[in-house]
């Protein structure tokens, strides 16, 4: 199957001369061929989107969100089919794929409430003079998304973008383009007018063209930090409104009064969920003081997680080689491998899949590559610390700032950590502290380039622009400062 783009409410075959295979990471099988669209196809998509957006901006927000209600119902009715698609192209386990769909549906629910939460403001600023603030659409907007949540991350963006009166073009990851196409078809079935949700496949060339294109008003990006930075810089230089979320290196702090069973289960779920390919995944465990009993349980529980059973594969052979490389080098450098998942695969898993079992590197130094780099796989690096202050100093020194968590039964210790951790999303006894709608998702420092939110209340600002109207209808005419 050669994957089409989706433009103007229909599948459109790409004229691309360059293409790449799309692989099922659980079997290594090539499932489709992805054309890498040339710039001329971006021009066509923007033209169609701009035309459709004019009429869309004319209807009320109450009417626009009706599409989102229908989309929610459609997605809920088809969770199994959609989950299978995500599992085939991304490798997530079926429970993980289902979970990502339900989180995506929450974004539809949130955007559906725009008529209630986006009412603007009004105030009599002088006697008889009223100032009102209204929100207006931006025009054609674009989302550029990563492989790891092929359906959810696009729905962090599209519902609010559309409810706000924009057209939306999705440039999905070239590793997981199938869910994007399915989303376009679902929006179509939900009654979204043609041209408002398009899918344009491609790689770096098309992303750079998107950044430069004069017909695009705003770009939301989610992916790795170097690409987030490059895309943000290029798009902003072309005068666009930009949001860019980047990579992560998340620290979990365990102190001696943490509940052993709950902490161990939670840490293991954070490391191994989605095979560690989540920007919220635990990556470094900062073990404060005498917590060997917790680490022993983490090891036992993690050893019971099986790649090809309750854990999915790495997304690609390249990812498998990259992540395995960290373990190979740690071993060669004499690190303590508390758990070695290399070669640990469920007996009935396809031998061609990119499987890697969970790994634990213990007693790492804070400057070891496994303690610093975003590995993006099921690898936990443990650093032993004498005090909470030492753990906080290590967490604060890392350049990322997506998530951090503490496990403790003391409210005082938790508050101390919450106040000092250098990340945008903090967990207390929760290893994947995703702030669900209406709270915005997003980190600090190298995990987010630039300011502003991509989801939640703050994102309403991003997907629209405000107009302030100052009016006076009384015929009273005495001179009045600034009116
Ligand atoms: P990626 O940066 O490789 O790709 C993301 C998007 O950018 C894709 O659409 C891709 O086609 C495009 N792209 C890749 N290289 C490019 C280049 N040189 N120039 C222009 N565009 C380019 O990311 P990925 O590997 O698909 O996803 C994993 C990364 O995403 C991890 O770093 C993860 O932490 C991050 N992520 C972050 C969040 C968050 O909310 N902060 C959420 C999910 C994933």
| 110-122 residue pLDDT tens | 999 999 999 889 9
* CA 244 / ligand 1 centre spacing (Å): 10
Q: Which atom of ligand 1 lies at the shortest distance from residue 223's CA? A: 30
- Kindly state the average pLDDT of the residues 343-365: 97
- Kindly state the average pLDDT of the residues 58-69: 98
Helix (H) or strand (E) holding 295: helix 292-303
* CA 222 / ligand 1 centre spacing (Å): 6
The Cα 125–Cα 259 span in angstroms is 55
- Counting ligand 1 atoms within 8 A of each CB, the residue from 223, 247, 398 with the most, and so the one to mutate, is 223
pLDDT of residue 474: 85
The pocket around ligand 1, CB under 6 angstroms, is made up of 144-148, 153, 171, 173-174, 203-204, 207, 222-224, 227, 230-231, 245-248, 279, 374, 376, 402, 441, 443, 447
* CA 175 / ligand 1 centre spacing (Å): 11
In this structure, which residue's CA is closest to atom 34 in ligand 1?
247
Q: Which atom of ligand 1 lies at the shortest distance from residue 175's CA? A: 26
* CA 315 / ligand 1 centre spacing (Å): 13
| Measured CA distances, 426 to 57, 404, 414, 417 (Å) | 38, 5, 10, 9
- Counting ligand 1 atoms within 8 A of each CB, the residue from 19, 90, 146, 220 with the most, and so the one to mutate, is 146
The Cα 289–Cα 365 span in angstroms is 16
Query: Strand pairing of 282-288 and 379-385?
Result: parallel
- Counting ligand 1 atoms within 8 A of each CB, the residue from 227, 243, 401, 456 with the most, and so the one to mutate, is 227
* CA 477 / ligand 1 centre spacing (Å): 59
Q: Which atom of ligand 1 lies at the shortest distance from residue 448's CA? A: 41
Q: Which atom of ligand 1 lies at the shortest distance from residue 203's CA? A: 11
Helix (H) or strand (E) holding 233: helix 225-237
Q: Please say if the pLDDT value at position 152 is more than 60.
A: yes
- DSSP structure class, residue 445: G
pLDDT of residue 471: 95
**Which residues neighbour 8 within 8 Å (Cβ) at sequence distance 6 or greater?**
48, 52, 194, 195, 198
| Burial class of 308 by CB neighbour count within 10 A (0 to 12, 13 to 18, 19+) | buried
* CA 282 / ligand 1 centre spacing (Å): 18
* CA 145 / ligand 1 centre spacing (Å): 6
Q: Give the model confidence (pLDDT) of 419-459 as tens digits.
A: 999 999 999 999 999 999 999 999 999 999 988 899 999 99
In this structure, which residue's CA is closest to atom 38 in ligand 1?
279
In this structure, which residue's CA is closest to atom 36 in ligand 1?
223
Mean pLDDT of the chain: 97
Q: Which atom of ligand 1 lies at the shortest distance from residue 374's CA? A: 32
pLDDT of residue 435: 94
Confidence of residue 260 (pLDDT cuts 50, 70, 90): very high
- Kindly state the average pLDDT of the residues 337-358: 97
Query: How many Cβ atoms are within 10 Å of 428's Cβ, its own excluded?
Result: 15
pLDDT of residue 483: 56
Q: Please say if the pLDDT value at position 29 is more than 60.
A: yes
pLDDT of residue 476: 76
In this structure, which residue's CA is closest to atom 18 in ligand 1?
204
Domains in the chain with CATH codes: 5-246+447-469 (3.40.605.10), 250-428 (3.40.309.10)
pLDDT of residue 465: 96
In this structure, which residue's CA is closest to atom 35 in ligand 1?
223
| Measured CA distances, 84 to 80, 101, 145, 195, 356 (Å) | 6, 11, 20, 27, 21
* CA 225 / ligand 1 centre spacing (Å): 8
Confidence of residue 350 (pLDDT cuts 50, 70, 90): very high
Confidence of residue 25 (pLDDT cuts 50, 70, 90): very high
Query: What pTM did the predictor assign?
Result: 0.97
Q: Which atom of ligand 1 lies at the shortest distance from residue 315's CA? A: 25
| Measured CA distances, 55 to 14, 204, 226, 355, 386 (Å) | 27, 32, 37, 49, 63
| Active-site residue set | 279
Q: Give the model confidence (pLDDT) of 271-329 as tens digits.
A: 999 999 999 999 999 999 999 999 999 999 999 999 999 999 999 999 999 999 999 99
Confidence of residue 267 (pLDDT cuts 50, 70, 90): very high
Query: Strand pairing of 129-137 and 464-472?
Result: antiparallel
Q: Please say if the pLDDT value at position 478 is more than 70.
A: no
- Kindly state the average pLDDT of the residues 146-171: 98
- Kindly state the average pLDDT of the residues 460-483: 84
pLDDT of residue 45: 98
| Measured CA distances, 126 to 120, 435, 477, 483 (Å) | 19, 40, 13, 8
């Amino acid at each position: 199957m050669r994957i089409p783009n989706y433009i103007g409410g229909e599948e459109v075959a790409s004229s691309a001369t360059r293409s790449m295979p799309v692989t099922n990471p659980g079997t290594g099988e090539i499932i489709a061929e992805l054309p890498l669209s040339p710039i001329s196809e971006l021009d066509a998509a923007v033209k169609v989107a701009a035309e459709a957006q004019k009429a869309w901006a004319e209807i009320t927000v109450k009417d626009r969100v009706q599409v989102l209600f229908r989309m929610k119902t459609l997605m809920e009715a088809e969770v199994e089919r959609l989950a299978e698609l995500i599992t085939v192209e991304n490798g997530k386990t079926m429970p993980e794929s289902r979970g990502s769909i339900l989180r995506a549906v929450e974004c539809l629910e949130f955007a559906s409430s725009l008529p209630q939460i986006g009412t603007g403001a009004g105030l009599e600023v002088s006697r008889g003079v009223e100032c009102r603030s209204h929100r207006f659409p931006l025009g054609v907007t674009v989302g550029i998304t990563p492989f790891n949540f092929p359906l959810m991350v696009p729905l962090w963006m599209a519902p609010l973008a559309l409810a706000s009166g924009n057209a939306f073009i999705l440039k999905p990851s070239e590793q997981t383009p199938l869910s994007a196409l399915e989303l376009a078809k679902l929006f179509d079935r939900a009654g979204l007018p043609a041209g408002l949700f398009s899918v344009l496949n491609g790689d770096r060339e098309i992303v750079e063209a998107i950044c430069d294109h004069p017909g695009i008003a705003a770009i939301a990006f989610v992916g790795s930090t170097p690409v987030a930075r490059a895309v943000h810089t290029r798009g902003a230089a072309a005068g666009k409104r930009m949001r860019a979320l980047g990579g992560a290196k998340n620290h979990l702090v365990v102190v001696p009064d943490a509940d052993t069973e709950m902490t161990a289960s939670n840490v293991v779920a954070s490391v191994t969920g989605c095979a560690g390919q989540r920007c919220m995944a635990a990556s470094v465990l900062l073990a404060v003081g005498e917590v060997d009993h917790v680490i022993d349980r983490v090891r036992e529980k993690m050893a019971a997680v099986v790649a090809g059973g309750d854990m999915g594969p790495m997304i690609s052979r390249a990812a498998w080689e990259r992540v395995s490389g960290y373990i190979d080098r740690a071993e060669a450098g004499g690190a303590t491998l508390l758990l070695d998942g290399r070669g640990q695969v469920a007996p009935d898993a396809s031998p061609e899949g990119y499987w890697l079992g969970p790994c634990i590197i213990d007693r790492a130094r804070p400057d070891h590559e496994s303690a610093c780099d975003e590995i993006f796989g099921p690898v936990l690096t443990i650093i032993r610390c004498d005090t909470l202050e030492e753990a906080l100093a290590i967490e604060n020194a890392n350049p990322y700032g997506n998530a951090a968590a503490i496990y403790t039964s003391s409210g005082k210790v938790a508050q101390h950590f919450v106040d000092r951790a250098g990340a945008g999303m903090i967990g207390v006894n929760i290893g994947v502290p995703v702030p669900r709608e209406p709270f915005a998702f997003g980190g600090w420092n190298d995990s987010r380039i630039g300011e502003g939110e991509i989801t939640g209340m703050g994102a309403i600002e991003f997907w629209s622009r405000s107009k302030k109207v100052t009016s006076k209808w009384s015929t009273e005419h005495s001179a009045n400062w600034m009116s």
